[in-house]
Amino acid sequence: MRIQQLEYLEKIAATGSINEAAKQLFISQPSLSQSMKELEKEYQIQLFYRSKAGITLTDAGREFMNYSRGVLDQVNLLNQHFGQGTIRKRVFSVSAQHYAFVVHAFVDLVKQIGGDTYQFTLRETQTENVLDDIQTLKSELGVIYINAFNKTVMKRLITEKDLEFTPLFDVQPHVFVGRDNPLTAKSHITLADLKDYPYLSYEQGDTNSFYFSEEILSTLPHKKHILISDRATIFNLMVGLNGYTISSGIISSELNDEKIVAIPLDVDDTITLGYLRHKKIELSATAQLYLEMLKQHIRGYGFEVQ
């Protein structure tokens, strides 16, 4: 086994493609494939499932990857301490539904430990993608919500994918609207108050399951409904069209438009926000630090971390 092979393995797992990994590593695809076959032969395991859709790690591959990252981290420490060889980029990735506190913590992480060489990834993405990213190790951590409606389905999927969900904090549902929306005159909002306003929700791809919705009460009918793919657009439509969405109530004046207001929604429901990790993978020091920063921001909004 060579250190270079472990670096190749990490790149393949990150890209999900032998061809793309070869391009980024500046080697030929046959050379990369042969190197991985030699690694599999040496340890008598199958590291990947290979299909037309790409490359995914097997269960044995995920476990091997866990040890491999530990070895690469130790090599990196040696290079930093003794000044020999190329210092490995610090690598970290998190996938999440669309939450400001996730971005806040990510910004702090990069500022604190990024240094001169790093490759960090923040994926604000569809709910199913968050689960898949953690399962396939594209990300170490994922941030999603669970409530009474989606709990059974989400927990089944989490178990099937060998993941673990850890609650962070509970919030009551809030309606997000533009500051000039007439609804801002109310201290609380009912569902009846919302019927004439455009409902904004994040699209969930081809699956489009109600259980994957980032907004509670996703099965309710709406006269006006606009699907959005990103957080900047949803805020623009709140202001431009007097649209609304339902979320946690956390708004960041540092990262989000200050024209947005959160108003409590009168429904009997609780949103539990938490993080996902893979059961078989130990979290890296970077992931653990990110979690601490995430918790700090949550406490900063006045919530008690579970």
Chain-centroid distance, C-alpha 75: 28
Domains of the chain: 1-87 (1.10.10.10), 170-272 (3.40.190.10)
CB 177 within 8 A of CB 283: no
Indicate the residue type of 214: E
Judged by average pLDDT, the poorest of 19-28, 35-44, 199-208 is 199-208
pLDDT tens sequence across 225-277:
999 988 889 989 999 999 999 988 887 766 556 788 999 999 999 999 999 99
For 98-164, the DSSP string reads S-HHHHHHHHHHHHHH-TTSEEEEEEE--HHHHHHHHHTTS-SEEEEEE-TTTHHHHHHHHHHTTEE
Q: How does DSSP classify residue 265?
A: B
Judged by average pLDDT, the poorest of 148-152, 158-162, 249-253 is 249-253
Distances in Å between the alpha carbon of 108 and those of 40, 111, 112? 38, 5, 6
Residue 13: count of CB within 10 angstroms of its CB:
22
Q: What is the model's pTM? A: 0.75
Position with higher pLDDT, 211 vs 83: 211
Residue at token pair 């904090």: 169
Token readout for 52 is: 């037309």
Residue 104 makes CB contacts below 8 A (sequence gap 6+) with: 252, 254, 255, 297
Asked if the model's pLDDT at residue 53 lies above 80, the reply is no
Confidence of residue 87 (pLDDT cuts 50, 70, 90): low
**100: Cα within 13 Å, side-chain hemisphere:** 19
- Helices and strands (H, E) in the chain, number of each type: 9, 12
Q: How does DSSP classify residue 220?
A: S
Confidence of residue 285 (pLDDT cuts 50, 70, 90): confident
